[in-house]
Chains A and B, each alone.
Chain A
Amino acid sequence: MRMSNFIVKDAILPVLTATTREGAITEMIASLHAAGEFAAADVPDITAAVLRRESLGSTGIGRRIAIPHSRHAAAGKLVGTVALSAAGIWFDSVDEEPVRLLALIVSPQDQPALHLRALEAVVHATKDDDLVAQLIECRTPDDIWNLIP
């Protein structure tokens, strides 16, 4: 699986306005909704599910990257988005560095293997330091989309 298989291009956020972990997750899910994913009535619960997962342990994996995620019954398919924070967001990451690059994943409740494959796709892509550096410097959704493997 590749990130471009599930990242929703119209939901990509090159400039997050949020300055907190909770705010960033909320903004990213709202962006997915604005791009046509999720019913409006499901947005609060999906947001709560991602925040609940975050409360179990940070999804900040270091190197300025975080992968907030959850499975949810209201998700009809695997979707995700990418966002950038210019100032960096505190994610309680293992290296204590603020997060600049976020990839959020939401997948159907009954497809755990699919969810894991999506996580693996993000981890695999972001292992490339050069790609991470290039992504962080992007200024438009198209720039990000064109770099996502």
Chain B
Amino acid sequence: MANPPLGLHLRPANAIAKLVRRTKCVVTVALGDKVADGRSPSDLLMLFAPPGTELILEVVGDDAAEAVEAVIAILTAAGEADEHPPAS
């Protein structure tokens, strides 16, 4: 389970998809009855998970433990939300 403080916006969605594609795992992210394939940024974005949403991760595969940690790290990373690029 993960609770992304900034929601599942475009930047973490892409980061998760890139990560999952590097693993040998099948990763799904669920919000209520909506389930997203972790390899697909579009799928993840379609969850429309706002800040603080409780997401359910399901990870199956050889390197599942590492993958879970890495996905949670992306979801809970500090930083500005996708729609808040820092001022130069």
Interface set of A (CB-CB < 8 Å, partner B): 48-49, 52-53, 56-63, 65, 67, 69-71, 94, 112, 115-116, 119-120, 123-124, 126-127
Contacts and interface: CB of A to CB of B under 8 A. Distances in A.
Contact of B83 (A69, A123, A126): A69
18 contacts: A48-B88, A56-B11, A57-B11, A57-B15, A59-B14, A60-B14, A61-B14, A62-B41, A62-B42, A63-B42, A65-B42, A69-B83, A94-B17, A94-B18, A94-B21, A120-B45, A123-B42, A124-B46
A116 B45 CA distance: 11
A52 B21 contact: no
A53 B87 CA distance: 10
Contacts of B14: 57-61, 94
B83 to A, nearest CB: 5
Contacts, number: 63
Given A63-B42, A120-B45, 14 more contacts: A56-B11, A57-B10, A57-B14, A62-B40, A62-B41, A65-B42, A71-B84, A94-B14, A94-B18, A112-B84, A116-B9, A123-B45, A123-B46, A126-B42
B55 interface: no
A60 B13 CA distance: 11
Nearest to A107: B83
Contacts of B48: 120
A52 B88 contact: yes
A123 B42 CA distance: 7
The 3 closest A-B pairs by CB, nearest first: A53-B85, A61-B41, A57-B11
A94 B83 CA distance: 19
Contacts of A123: 42, 45-46
A94 B12 CA distance: 12
A115 B83 contact: yes
